[in-house]
Amino acid sequence: MTLPGVIRRLHPRDPRLYQIATLASLLLYGLTWLDFEITAARAILILATVLSTQAVCDQVTAGRLMPGRPVAVNIKSALISGLSLCLLLRTNRPELAVVAAVLTIAVKFLLRFRGKHLFNPTNGGLVAMLLLTDQVWVSPGQWGSAVLFVFLMASVGSVVVMRASRSDVTYAFILFYGAMLFGRALYLGEPLAIPLHRLESGALLLFTFFMISDPKTTPDSRAGRVLFAGLVAFGAWYVQFRMFRTNGLLWSLAACSLSVPIIDWLLPGDRYTWLSPPAAAAAGAPELRWRHPSTPTTAAFDRFQRRTI
Amino acid sequence: MKRHVFSVVVASMVAWSAPTVLGFCGFYVAKADTKLFNKASQVVLVRDGDRTVMTMANDFKGDLKEFAVVIPVPTFLQREQIHVGDKALIDHLDAYSAPRLVEYFDEDPCRVIVSDRMVLSMSRPAAAAGVSGRARSLGVTIEAQYTVGEYDILILSAQQSSGLETWLRENGYKIPSGASSVLSSYVKQNMRFFVARVNLREQAKLGFSYLRPLQVAYESPKFMLPIRLGMVNADGAQELFAYALTRKGRVETTNYRTVKLPTDMDLPVYLKEPGEFARFYTAMFSRQVGKEGMRVLFLEYAWDMRWCDPCAADPLSNDELRQLGVFWLDANGGPSPPPGGSGSVVRPRPMPPSMNAPEVFLTRLHVRYDSAHFPEDLVFQETADRVNFQGRYVLRHAWHGEESCPAAGAYRRSLRDRQEQEAQRLASMTGWDVSEIRKTMNLGAEGPDAQPISNKWWERLWRK
């Protein structure tokens, strides 16, 4: 077999499989090596809750849209959200972990605009919990900077597997954010070791490659995604260096997500599907080319077809 | 226009008069011919909402007239925001939260009795540890001057770090080369500079032979501890103990990893000998620092201040906490633990917290740092984590009774294995030579099989 053939064979059709494997490995690494403040039992509780919630939501939605049709539970999407939650959410109280897991899945069904969910599920769930209670927290320092290499490998791999056309938001964000970090250091006369140290943060890399990159919640057009990346970077920088609050990345992404419908209206583009076009065709899925405006009937059908994370 | 509130806190010490800049929160420097070395700083951060009260202690041992401190602060400080605290409070906090040894006595395998008590705590190891016109022309503004206790205090603001550096030099403060670039960052963030030196006349009047800790109270969203100034001319790594007193829960750093110190392990009983536990703690800490590549802070204690179990010292009383700046305590803030000394109290004290007692959660962080591994200031966050944690090391004394049942023989055999494991654990935690440890434990250098012990009653009859 030729090399391209081998690569094609190993290359998963659905990048979410790669994401699940990577996030699960990072969680395992965190639990065993980095002493994360989460137990295996808690992780299982969160994963079980997201899967159950996803199943219920799929059932309800499908029952409403296509009565009588068998319902497929979107396990991959729920697992990605659940694993991300395990990596980020910390609380002493198991019931709050369950609420967070339910909210994470529920927000993507409840908060939609023209068939597209507004918030990255994990981001939405975390921000909702941070707003609702003071009993949860996120530990951005838990990765340290020694895991940079591990992260880079995982992240680069992720970019390779994701279609390059949708990695632009990741590149744009890290460029904008890096420029702001270096710009601030240069203005203040600080050594460059300071912005470099901030860029080495595992939490930042996880956010950059696994959260803001979510193609289902970023704008449809490339120009829109670059604009969005700039807004998120500025918001995160503002929260961290002007308001002096933690979790600037999470707050900023949640706030900027509200602007995505406007960006999509101003700069329309093609809606994303997880399966690559040939793979999607092979899997029997129609290639979706949804442009605004769509009719309510087709939009409803598209929503059902397109429901992923 | 409303001024931006920048927070906090660098503390850097400056030698006054015969000018050499010293560091705090790290940075301590001597005059050229005097080696003043202060590697261990202690800082207490009381924090709730945006309010912070910071207490800074140091073990400055030099001539008091050569002491001065420069602390970047987020806002202008009024006279009432500055206070001189009592060193005994920090010593008490240190003793209360210090890693501790606990001892247990093996029961007679032929009978059942349990006894345990706390034997000693490991306190912080000592080793580890015409002007205003000119000022205006340099862009430096003396915003206020106070005398508080034995300190003369200036609140400065500056437009340029070079102006501030020149002003400090011209006024007898020796700034190490490189400090200017660090000062520049704080100047551009509109921070004020809190400069304190000892007023010898006041000091003589008060009669203290040591420097009492300075306390400042301010309101700012920033929850951080600047350490960069302290590393400018640091001689090797610095040691910092940061105690955070908060309402909700444990404090951790957001820009560095916070790691729990290895705890709850059985160790050879000879660590009870004077000085041995201190030796163990410093060696173990150094080894852990190396293992983590000197890139983490260690959590040494996290506990609700209303109780402890076992107690290395009594919890601080409400009055002591209030003096440290715990501003949410009111006069009727619930039952106060009995006042305790800073010595080691050797009994367990499982006092379940009363619901109406005020909530004060203590986090003790210990970090060894240098500029290569800690390029930026420490930034903290308060979490909702109220899980208790303490550095606790266990000594299990062997049972030395007569073998009066078959279980005793099995006990003897298991004891050899256990002691061997203790020796190996101690070696791996500290990097010490395991054969030396075995020798000290009287295990024999070759390990468990080298010197089988027996404990027949007649063997001990004429033993010398």
Instruction: Name the residue of chain B whose CA is nearest to A141's CA.
Output: B254
Of A75 and A289, the one with more pLDDT: A75
In a domain, B7, yes or no: no
Residues A139, B375: C-beta atoms closer than 8 Å: no
Instruction: Specify whether B343 is located in the same domain as B428.
Output: no
> Given this model, what pLDDT does residue B289 score?
94
Cα gap A124→A105, rounded to integer Å: 9
Instruction: Specify whether B193 is located in the same domain as B291.
Output: yes
In a domain, B461, yes or no: no
Instruction: Name the residue of chain A whose CA is nearest to B4's CA.
Output: A242
Cα gap B197→A241, rounded to integer Å: 32
3-state secondary structure B111-134: CCCCCEEEEEECCCCCCCCCHHHH
Closest partner residue to B256 (CB to CB) among A141, A188, A190 is A141
Closest partner residue to B184 (CB to CB) among A140, A189, A196 is A189
DSSP state letters, B149-174:
TTEEEEEEEES-HHHHHHHHHHTTPP
Domain span at B41:
12-393
In a domain, B5, yes or no: no
Of A286 and B432, the one with more pLDDT: B432
B positions 371-400 inside 8 Å of A (CB): 375-376, 379, 381, 383-387
Closest partner residue to B384 (CB to CB) among A136, A144, A145 is A136
| B363 at A interface, C-beta within 8 A | no
Instruction: Specify whether B374 is located in the same domain as B357.
Output: yes
Cα gap B448→B407, rounded to integer Å: 19
Instruction: Specify whether B202 is located in the same domain as B300.
Output: yes
Residues B384, A137: C-beta atoms closer than 8 Å: yes
DSSP state letters, B11-50:
-EEEETTTTEE--STTB----TT------EEEEEEEEETT
pLDDT digits (tens, 9 = 90+) for A116-144: 778 889 999 999 999 999 999 999 999 88
> Given this model, what pLDDT does residue B339 score?
42
Cα gap B85→A258, rounded to integer Å: 50
Instruction: Specify whether B46 is located in the same domain as B158.
Output: yes
Instruction: Specify whether B338 is located in the same domain as B427.
Output: no
Instruction: Specify whether B383 is located in the same domain as B442.
Output: no
Cα gap B141→B118, rounded to integer Å: 54
Q: Return the domain boundaries, chain A.
A: 14-140, 145-266
Of B126 and A176, the one with more pLDDT: A176
Q: Which amino acid is at B376?
A: E
Domain boundary among B393, B408, B439: B393
The top-scoring range by mean pLDDT among A45-49, A77-81, B324-328, B353-357 is: A45-49
> Given this model, what pLDDT does residue A307 score?
42
Exposed (0-12), middle (13-18) or buried (19+): which is B381, by Cβ within 10 Å?
Answer: buried
In a domain, B451, yes or no: yes
In a domain, B60, yes or no: yes
DSSP state letters, B216-244:
EEEE-S--EE--TGGGTT-SS-EEEEEEE
| B185 at A interface, C-beta within 8 A | yes
| B223 at A interface, C-beta within 8 A | yes
In this prediction, residue A202 has a pLDDT band, given cuts at 50, 70 and 90, of confident
Residues B387, A92: C-beta atoms closer than 8 Å: yes
Closest partner residue to B188 (CB to CB) among A188, A243, A246 is A188
Residues B161, A189: C-beta atoms closer than 8 Å: yes
- The mean pLDDT value for A201-213 works out to 86
CA neighbor of A99 nearest in space, from A50, A27, A43: A50
Instruction: Name the residue of chain A whose CA is nearest to B377's CA.
Output: A194
| B4 at A interface, C-beta within 8 A | yes
3-state DSSP percent of chain A in helix, strand and coil, to 5: 65, 5, 30
Domain boundary among B360, B376, B393: B393
Residue A219's contacts (CB-CB under 8 Å, 6 or more residues apart) are A225, A227, A228, A260, A263, A264, A267, A269
Residues A126, A89 contacting (CB under 8 angstroms)? yes
Cα gap A74→A55, rounded to integer Å: 7
Residues B248, A134: C-beta atoms closer than 8 Å: yes
Residue identified by tokens 């009993």 is A135
Q: List chain B residues with CB under 8 Å of A196.
A: 375
A279-305: b (≥16 Cβ within 10 Å) or e = ebeeeeeeeeebeeeeeeeebebbbbe
**Predicted confidence (pLDDT) at residue A114 exceeds the cutoff of 50:** yes
**How big is chain A, counted in residues?**
309
Cα gap A3→B304, rounded to integer Å: 61
Residues of A with CB under 8 A from a CB of B: 34-35, 37, 90-92, 134-137, 139-146, 187-191, 193-194, 196-198, 201, 242-246
Instruction: Name the residue of chain A whose CA is nearest to B387's CA.
Output: A92
Of A215 and A227, the one with more pLDDT: A227
pLDDT digits (tens, 9 = 90+) for B150-186: 888 989 888 888 888 888 888 877 777 777 788 888 8
Residues B293, A194: C-beta atoms closer than 8 Å: no
Closest partner residue to A141 (CB to CB) among B188, B253, B375 is B253
> Given this model, what pLDDT does residue B105 score?
79
Instruction: Specify whether B20 is located in the same domain as B162.
Output: yes
| B255 at A interface, C-beta within 8 A | yes
CA distances from B288 to A36, A176, B293, B367, B395 (A): 18, 37, 9, 11, 21
Q: List chain A residues with CB under 8 Å of B379.
A: 246
Instruction: Name the residue of chain B whose CA is nearest to A140's CA.
Output: B254
| B296 at A interface, C-beta within 8 A | yes
Domain boundary among B377, B393, B409: B393
Residues A194, B375: C-beta atoms closer than 8 Å: yes
In a domain, B3, yes or no: no
Q: List chain B residues with CB under 8 Å of A92.
A: 249, 384-387
**Predicted confidence (pLDDT) at residue A193 exceeds the cutoff of 60:** yes
Residues B256, A141 contacting (CB under 8 angstroms)? yes
Q: List chain A residues with CB under 8 Å of B48.
A: none
Q: List chain B residues with CB under 8 Å of A139.
A: 252, 254, 383
Instruction: Specify whether B370 is located in the same domain as B444.
Output: no
pLDDT profile of chain B (464 residues), mean per 10:
31 36 31 36 92 86 76 86 90 88 77 47 46 74 89 88 83 76 86 86 80 91 87 78 95 95 89 83 92 93 86 86 89 46 41 61 94 92 93 84 77 86 91 88 57 55 58
Q: List chain A residues with CB under 8 Å of B249.
A: 92
Instruction: Specify whether B388 is located in the same domain as B424.
Output: no
Closest partner residue to B257 (CB to CB) among A136, A141, A190 is A141
In a domain, B1, yes or no: no
Q: List chain B residues with CB under 8 Å of A244.
A: 6-7, 220-223
What total of structural domains would you count in chain B? 2
Instruction: Specify whether B327 is located in the same domain as B428.
Output: no
Angle at CA of residue B185, ends B181 and B186, nearest 5°: 120
Instruction: Specify whether B325 is located in the same domain as B437.
Output: no
In a domain, B464, yes or no: no
